[in-house]
Amino acid sequence: MVSGMTMGERGQITQEAEREGEGLVHFGYRLVKAGEKKNLVRTHFATVAEKYDFMNTVLSFGAHFLWKKRAMDALSLKEGARLLDLCGGTGDMSLLAAKRLRNAGKVVLYDINPFMLKKGKEKLRRKNLDSSVRFVLGDAELLSLKTASFDACIVAFGVRNLTHMTDGFREMLRVLKPGGEMVCLEFSIPRTRWFRWLYDVYSFRMMPLLGEILAGSRKAYTYLPESIRVFPSPEELARLLRDIGFEKVRFRLLTDGIAVIHKARKPS
């Protein structure tokens, strides 16, 4: 079982699959063609969009609100800043940013799924903050945005779903201004052994069951824990960010490592 591997072995799974499988990538534990994954991800989020926010709160016992707030706190957003919320989905990060910047800055919520983007628009509109957010439908691996046009970029629980994660990070680096900050909030595996065992039991038994009962999709909430297990460890992701060209790379573990805040900067 993947969850029983060491963190180093687990973090190498995706890279080895792409190299040895000749273009195959992970969709959860499944190996699929790179072109197929994008469609699978679109279908996945179209399926869960209506219950996405509700399920996040239920499955994380509300902890995702705190994790997202701390990720936003990690950015040094100044008055007039331009922020890119990549894979922004239903808009939680854009909402936090818009509240802080108000009319003194600009937020671009960028997502590939129109159903998730629609939920994000509705959420920002209810808070009367949609006027300060631009909603863009597009691919995070090939951004339709100008080079060096953002002061900061944040991505929360999104890069796991990209077909080629390195392309997404390279695009973030490209659109950031020199000295601009990037924050990535992602899931990982608890560091404490007993907590990791409990997390595995919850992830592989309870999550799919709750997904079936509350959201009508066991498959979607089987993919979720699988995608976390094949994602690089925090240490490996930090090395990847340095290799891509980011500097001042560091990370912070939340809730014993269930979530991790990665922070880096574009060289000035």
Question: Per-residue pLDDT tens for 84-135?
Answer: 999 999 999 999 999 998 777 899 999 999 999 999 999 999 999 988 899 9
Topology (CATH) of 38-192+220-265: Rossmann fold (3.40.50)
Task: State residue 126's pLDDT score.
Answer: 94
pLDDT of residue 5 exceeding 60, the answer is: no
pLDDT of residue 44 exceeding 70, the answer is: yes
pLDDT of residue 213 exceeding 60, the answer is: yes
128: left (phi over 0), alpha (psi -120 to 50) or beta: left
pLDDT, tens digit (0-9, with 9 covering 90-100), for 139-149: 999 999 999 99
Task: State residue 13's pLDDT score.
Answer: 45
pLDDT of residue 8 exceeding 50, the answer is: no
